[in-house]
Amino acid sequence: MRAARRYLILTCLFLAMSLALLPGLAGAGLSDGASWEQFHGDAANIGYSASAAPGTAELAWVSENISANNSSSVVVAENKVFVYSCIGGDFDATASAVYCLDERTGEKLWEKLIDKAQYGSWSSPAYSNGKVFIGSGKKLYCLDAADGAKKWEYNLASAVVNGSPTVADGKVFIGNWEGGYYYCLDENTGALKWKYGVPGYAQGTPAYADGRVYLTSWAYRTDDNDHVVCVSAENGTKIWHQNGIASDSEEATCGSPTVADGKVFVTTYNFYGNGHLAALSAADGSILWNKTTNRTNSTPAYFQGKVYVCGGCPGYADPTTVCFDAYAGEPVWEKKGVGNWTCSVAVADGKVFAGRPSPTDFTDYAGIYVLSADTGEVVWSYDQGGSSPAVANKRVYTISGGKVYAFGPKMPVFADWDVNCDDQVNVLDMVLVGQKFGQSGSPGWIREDVNKDGQINVLDMILIGQHWTG
């Protein structure tokens, strides 16, 4: 009885401490780089991770062949890796699924069958608050991250093709390709908030920043085939529209925008020649600069005044990865032989992560290449993986041949009460629980739910107190 009282008093003291320290610690970076929750890393599609990243080709694990979509990107959150799968092949899918893998080992935790992909779609999942979102076929799904159970689905009338869901501000944004609409839905209920019609195909992954949503659309071989639109995230009202990037009717804004440093970076794919990388003003859409580059569907990555982009298409244009100055648009370096039209690079720890295309399948990959962010020189490479990489928890994750490859250090298995996984059970674990105090979800949906009862409360703190190491 006396011991139980001591644990209760200790827990209450640390609860008060956690809540008092919460404002200061919220920005302390306790989880910086610990996740990669959406396509290209975050809601703005920046493609940068604060995580350390492997400096050598140290392979942590390879998943079984789960028919992972070969041009897709994985999502990393909650010590899990979420993967979009197209069974039977990307362009001939007989079924599609979301797979959840253990981040430490690559072992399958669960899978959920969903409507099959259409037109070879290489969409990627998104994660937010214990939920996984994926557009597949004509539906947007919201799944429970703990077990894959369906929370809700929304019928989009037309198929999602290549674009991925973006989650921000309690909302989910997604396009329905030939339907020509981008949708905004309530993150928790799937209720429609608004939809916005665009010219041509609503193909891109929306980018969100500062209460605005940035969209792209295109049409094939017309004089009206490059569009970047900015709308209000609250009600879908148009703020500006730019369609002066392409140089001719063969060029189109097929990729997704990146929003950073007051600019919107967007690429074009040219079916019969070079494309462009343009920087627009995020405020009014005016073109700040517009430079020729390799044809590409990829999304640029931004970090510290530089923009990185892949391009090329096997049989049509040799692969390249290029670094541009974000302010003037001048090229800084170019690496030939690395890159592809469907590869969106990741940047982390002074390195650029890109892929090399397969010689036999123009949407698959034949290796990952890691380049110096400053010079473009090869740091290391490996002859598998390569699709749009994701960087989190000191690792890089990528796909090829239906498998997921994880590079970086092997991860130890930590006790449930070591919430921040530092081999110590102390005040930092209490603080993390305090930051999530009162939240609820599926049992064990995040590490702060220490006793895995779906509630974050004093019982979780008691368990930490019982295993205190100081």
Query: What is the number of other CB atoms lying within 10 angstroms of the CB of residue 118?
Result: 18
Query: What is the number of other CB atoms lying within 10 angstroms of the CB of residue 423?
Result: 10
Contact 135, 128 (CB under 8 A): no
Fill in the amino acid letter for 26: A
Q: What is the pLDDT of residues 88-103, one digit of tens each?
A: 766 778 899 999 999 9
Q: What is the pLDDT of residues 331-360, one digit of tens each?
A: 999 999 999 999 999 999 999 999 999 988
Q: CA 314 to CA 175: how far, in whole Å?
A: 27
Do strands 48-49 and 346-348 pair parallel, antiparallel, or not at all (unpaired)?
parallel
Q: CA 196 to CA 235: how far, in whole Å?
A: 9
Q: For 329, list phi and psi in degrees, rounded to 5.
A: 80, 10
List domains and CATH numbers for the chain.
2-30+420-466 (no CATH), 48-407 (2.130.10.10)
Q: DSSP letter string over 180-249?
A: -EEEEEETTT--EEEEEE-SSBB-SPPEEETTEEEEEEB-TTSSS--EEEEEETTT--EEEEE----SST
Residue 314's DSSP bridge partners are none
pLDDT digit string (tens) for the chain, length 470 residues:
555 555 555 555 555 554 444 443 333 333 358 999 999 999 999 999 999 999 999 999 999 999 999 999 999 999 999 999 998 766 778 899 999 999 999 999 999 999 999 998 999 999 999 999 999 999 999 999 999 999 999 999 999 999 999 999 999 999 999 999 999 999 999 999 999 999 999 999 999 999 999 999 999 878 788 999 999 999 999 999 999 999 888 999 999 999 999 999 999 999 899 999 999 999 999 999 999 999 999 999 999 999 999 999 998 999 999 999 999 999 999 999 999 999 999 999 999 999 999 988 878 999 999 999 999 999 999 999 999 999 999 999 999 999 999 999 987 777 888 888 888 989 888 888 888 889 887 677 678 889 988 899 989 888 888 898 87
Contact 438, 455 (CB under 8 A): no
Instruction: Output the six-digit token pair for 280.
Output: 């627009």
* CA angle centred on 56, ends 40 and 344, rounded to 5°: 20
Q: Which of 274, 269, 187, 277 is nearest to 233 (CA)?
A: 187
Query: What is the number of other CB atoms lying within 10 angstroms of the CB of residue 125?
Result: 29
Contact 302, 321 (CB under 8 A): no
Q: For 77, list phi and psi in degrees, rounded to 5.
A: -165, 155
DSSP 68: B
Torsion of the alpha carbons at 151, 152, 158 and 159, rounded to the nearest 10: 0
**pTM, to two decimals:** 0.87
